[in-house]
Copies of this chain bind each other. A is one copy, B any other.
Amino acid sequence: MAYLDRQTATHGDGLSESARSERAWSEFTASNRVKRLALTEHEAVFFEGDRAERLFEITDGAVMLYKLLPDGRRQVVEILGEGSLFGLQASDLYDCSAETLTPVRLRAIDRHDLEAIPDLLGHINQCLLGQLQTMHDHAVLLGRKSAFERVTSFLMRFVPKRGEVGCAGPAKDGPDEKVVVLAMTRQEIADYLGLTIETVSRVFSDLRRRGLIAAEKHDRVRILDICGLCKLTGTH
């Protein structure tokens, strides 16, 4: 199952993105200009400022992109799951660093080889549009949402088909639950949400006290009332 169901589900126009991607990459894979690599969790893929010679597609797992300020403040700018592209730049240097969150399998391709395969362009476009739209939502979160809304919005990311435009609501029968694997430390979550670890921790505790979530492990949460959580995101 994809790390971020929502992320990969957003773009859709008839043909599924993964199918489009496969078709686009196929001739490439054959030409063995595509390198495959496997990384464990919390491994760096590249650093901000490195020469951007390759771009990557996530075959499996999750990757975060982050930027650092000179005094050490960090902002995680994107969290990417299966099917997402990263490392493609407008300039010739990476504008942010990339690090795995989980064990990850990647396909890498030299940026110069890109021009040879115009087929990929459409797929890349679709990917970038999805990422841009996600960034818009994230800007709203960072610029206008409270700590509570940020954390609950973050949790709702992991619940596919809920909190979207035409949300079906909870199933009539049975509880409105889901177990969610965050695969991120408190520090990473805080840096993604523009908060401190303490604030993130406090919100989690509060949600637990209110009976909206239950802790399975530190990075594993059981959401007990998806609808209730959704109402706290500020989006609805």
Contact digits for A122-166, partner B, Cβ 8 Å, 1 yes 0 no: 101110111111011111101111000000000000000000000
Q: With a CB–CB cut-off of 8 A, which chain B residues contact A210?
A: none
- A137 and B135 CA atoms in complex are apart in Å by 11
Check B234–A90 contact: CB distance below 8 A: no
Check A135–B126 contact: CB distance below 8 A: no
- A96 and B133 CA atoms in complex are apart in Å by 9
Min C-beta distance of A118 to chain B, whole Å:
7
- A75 and B150 CA atoms in complex are apart in Å by 14
Q: With a CB–CB cut-off of 8 A, which chain B residues contact A129?
A: 88-90, 128
Check B130–A74 contact: CB distance below 8 A: no
* A10-B90, A90-B130 known; A77-B139 Cβ under 8 A: yes
Contact digits for A34-47, partner B, Cβ 8 Å, 1 yes 0 no: 00000000000000
Q: With a CB–CB cut-off of 8 A, which chain B residues contact A236?
A: 70
Residue of B nearest to A121 (CB): B121
- A9 and B73 CA atoms in complex are apart in Å by 27
Partner of A11, one of B67, B90, B132: B90
- A95 and B139 CA atoms in complex are apart in Å by 13
* A126-B90, A136-B65, A235-B69 known; A194-B131 Cβ under 8 A: no
Residue of B nearest to A73 (CB): B144
- A90 and B6 CA atoms in complex are apart in Å by 13
Q: Does A175 contact B (CB under 8 A)?
A: no
Check A95–B133 contact: CB distance below 8 A: yes
Q: With a CB–CB cut-off of 8 A, which chain B residues contact A89?
A: 129, 133
Check B234–A144 contact: CB distance below 8 A: no
Min C-beta distance of A186 to chain B, whole Å:
16
The interface of chain A, by Cβ under 8 A from chain B, is 10-13, 65, 67, 69-71, 73-75, 77-78, 88-92, 95-96, 118, 121-122, 124-126, 128-133, 135-140, 142-145, 191, 193-194, 234-236
A-B contact pairs, 6 of them (CB 8 A): A10-B91, A118-B118, A125-B125, A128-B128, A132-B132, A143-B191
